Copies of this chain bind each other. A is one copy, B any other.
């Protein structure tokens, strides 16, 4: 099945590439790698603020991470033109805005990882690091950066 068909089946419509706030760009291509900037979680177009373990529970964080992954795919589509050109999702760095006692960063990160597997199949199986940040830009609950290999 094509990536476009899978996205449709999942009911996902990709947004336009996220416009960065600041003096940088949403992605840079170098050789056959695309480095995507950290994308923060948004809801209704605004930063999805809150700390896991304080204002937000793990499952909300998981939903936020899934939303970030969809935004990353919007940026990736602009970067590569056609998502069929994705050879492999290489690595995610998943930053979780975490209250001192919150240790379920992997649960949160799975929201992004599972979405990428659902969309790309084996090509979506990536390396990953997840960590608890003391804070994130604009108070966002989740931020994710991604490296992708193109064909």
Contacts and interface: CB of A to CB of B under 8 A. Distances in A.
Interface of A: 20-28, 30-33, 35-38, 88-93, 95, 98-106, 109-110, 113-114, 117, 125-139, 143, 145, 147, 149
A101 B127 CA distance: 31
Contacts of A147: 30, 35
Contacts of A25: 125-127
A114 B106 CA distance: 28
6 contacts: A23-B110, A24-B128, A26-B127, A30-B32, A105-B137, A132-B133
A130 B136 CA distance: 7
Contact of A128 (B20, B92, B139): B20
Q: Which 4 A-B pairs have the closest CB atoms?
A: A38-B129, A132-B135, A23-B113, A24-B128
A22 B113 CA distance: 8
A133 to B, nearest CB: 5
A128 B37 contact: yes
Given A105-B137, A114-B23, A125-B25, A32 B31 contact: yes
From A24, A90, A103, A143, name the one whose CB has the most chain B CB atoms within 10 angstroms: A24
